[in-house]
Chains A and B, each alone.
Chain A
Amino acid sequence: MENEYYVCTGCGLLCDDIEVELEDGKVSKVNNACLKGVARLKECNRPAECRIDGAPASLEDAIIEAARILKEADSPVLFGMGNSTSQAQKNAIEVAKRTGAYFDDTSSFCQGPVVEAILENKIRTCTLDEVKDKADVIVYWGADPSNSHPRHLSKYTYFPRGKERQRGWEEDRTAICIDVRKSDTATICGDKFYQIPPQADEELLNALANGLSGKVPKVSFGMGPKKILELANMLKKAEFGVICVGLGLVYSLEEIEPLVRLMDKLNEVSNFHLIPMVGQYNMRGSNHNLHEETGYINRVKFTGNDVEHGAHCSVVELLRARTVDAALIIGSDPMSSLPGSIAKELLDISVITIDPCNTLTSRKAKVSIPAATAGSECGGTAVRMDGVEVEFKAMTETDRMCDAEILERIMGEL
């Protein structure tokens, strides 16, 4: 009998070789997935409950109440999206357009600038399948996939045999790690680990660009020109190189330009690509869907036929400046993921959550609507961290509605 494979929605890698066993209509065993993936695909330990003002409510009433809040709000925001199917994201954009709302996603304070540079063709990218088949030099910069995307190295980058890399990590591939601490990934990279001080990434980006231009590279910390040139030469000699950019690098840069400059320089002398280490399974899908609709990847406000865009439309600035009076939060837990001093502003506005699990945010929400878990309980499409669209089907049946359907119902009530 042919095996049936499913897609894991545990992270932006969207592993498509997952086998499951079911018991009483529930996922009882998950094969091939990492620890995080298994935990995601099994049922929530604390499923979300349908509630209005903390009291149990029917789904119908919760949807009507959610629509009422959005309709009556002067300045609502829709936020989250990273753990939603592409269809749910498109429906959310429609809700935002109808209500004249702000719309932002989690990329606003993580990989947004990198994805934006890729979609605007400022940075050359490639697919993970190309990395698997061709890459000989893989750089993890400010990233620790051994913990954030546990199958990244084994499925696509360092360990697998690819079409042009049949001798894998033993002979055909070099993995390099640049980070502020010796992470588990840095340990795998062995003597190709380059430790830098916090916030020194821009300096090293510039020094590498200088080294690749034939200048003597200098930095203010304890990494001599010889060591920097050794790294620059490894990059220069790559037949097919890729830089996997983690939040460690993104957060240390004020602007994306130094990274763009290094990529440009690398592609003058070598053949280099960049892939953002996107965390949530469909954060990149949200960027793509909004970009298609508005030309922006995040941080917008819909006003009639106009779209306003800028940092002032980011969820962080909206909450900090108390610009919004209602929030529809889809598949995200900002009470947990935002700075506490900013997240507390959510306590003073009407919050609606759509989530499979009980979260810190759903517990404080005025309206909490339980959704099916995408990947295990509902199918759809998502965009992998490298921009490839992946279709996935449900593993089990559920009575709970998918987030796309809930948003469609809210739209119907508006």
Chain B
Amino acid sequence: MGFGQFLKAPEYDIKIITYRDIFQSTALESSGCGDEYAERSAVILLDKGDMKKMVLKDGRKAVLKNNFGRVVVHLRPSDYDEGHEGIGYMTNSPWSNALVSSETGGSGVPKFKMITASISDAKDEKVTSFDE
């Protein structure tokens, strides 16, 4: 038990864009909302420069939160050639949907692909589970 546990992890603003992944979609078909699906869904891919700036390390977990929800997901650097400062990528899933605004301006279409949230180190928290 270290002194660090009493300190609040710094939070940074981030925009999250969701995308489709064939392996994640396959896991949904074959395992429902089971472990494999969770393993492939509860992940945010960050710009390598952002990870360095935010002092977030590959393989650790992150808390993503906004007014609509809060989830803990795995943290990984993206492998895109181009940098994408301030933008994180997540597959479309209950983990990303937990952060989607309920405000639609009466259109009936939520902003699934443009989520604004804060990100911080999750320390020892477990990844959020929806499989209960």
Contact = CB atoms under 8 A, between A and B. Distances in A.
Interface in B86-132: 87, 89, 93-94, 97-102, 104, 106-114, 130
Interface in A216-255: 247-248, 251-252, 254
B32 interface: yes
B107 A320 contact: no
Nearest to B71: A340
A39 B40 CA distance: 16
Nearest to A277: B20
Contact of B114 (A38, A199, A341): A199
Question: Of A36, A199, A248, A311, which is in contact with the most chain B CB atoms at under 10 Å from its CB?
Answer: A36
Contacts of A40: 29
B49 to A, nearest CB: 16
B108 to A, nearest CB: 3
Contacts of B31: 45-46
A320 B130 contact: no
Given A311-B108, A339-B101, A340-B100, A360 B130 contact: yes
A281 B37 CA distance: 21
Nearest to A39: B29
Nearest to B30: A39
Contact of B68 (A45, A108, A198, A341): A341
Task: Please classify the interface of chain B as helix (H, G, I), strand (E, B), loop, or mixed, using the class held by over half of its residues.
Answer: loop
B110 A342 contact: yes
Nearest to A144: B20
Contacts of A252: 113-114
Contact of B30 (A45, A340, A342): A45
Given A39-B29, A340-B94, A340-B100, A198 B19 contact: no
A283 to B, nearest CB: 15
Interface in A34-51: 34-36, 38-40, 42, 44-46
B108 A109 contact: yes
Nearest to B95: A340
Contacts of A316: 104, 108-110
B68 A251 contact: no
A36 B102 contact: no
A206 interface: no
B26 A35 contact: yes
B23 A45 contact: no
Nearest to B70: A340
A257 to B, nearest CB: 14
A183 B19 CA distance: 9
Interface in A356-380: 357-360
Contact of B104 (A147, A299, A317, A340): A317
Interface of A: 10, 34-36, 38-40, 42, 44-46, 108-109, 144, 146-148, 150, 180-183, 195, 198-199, 247-248, 251-252, 254, 299, 311-312, 314-317, 320, 335-343, 357-360
Given A150-B22, A316-B108, A317-B104, 18 more contacts: A35-B26, A36-B22, A36-B26, A38-B26, A39-B27, A40-B29, A46-B31, A109-B112, A148-B22, A181-B80, A182-B82, A198-B87, A198-B114, A251-B114, A252-B114, A338-B110, A339-B102, A341-B101
8 contacts: A36-B26, A42-B30, A109-B112, A148-B22, A311-B106, A336-B97, A340-B97, A340-B98
